Structure 1
């Protein structure tokens, strides 16, 4: 039922000062500053979680919310 849910995964690349390789990932126009050596990647990915672990987290969250209501 919910097996195909995806979540955004954010990866930050900071290659400022790195001389180990040529940065070929970005092919657009250069900004002319430090921003040329930084990149943010956002990808939707499926995150696998064991059903029992998910149920435990849900139970704990609901328990906490009920305790705060009192």
Structure 2
């Protein structure tokens, strides 16, 4: 009896804010996160491909000078 008088009242347990018994939200968030991660990896791969230059690559000839001769 004395414990009931001295202890402060305890709040009642409330239901969870996001009640998701079948895990639908978790699957949606996981799928969305996977897509965002794959998109980031694709962007990084494209950026690395653009920024990469081979030091020993041959210099390309100009397109107009491929089949021309010195005489006219």
- Structure 2-normalised TM-score? 0.29
- Larger RCO (CA under 8 A, 6+ residues apart): 1
Higher helix share: 2
- Structure 1-normalised TM-score? 0.30
Higher strand share: 1
Structure having the higher Rg: 2
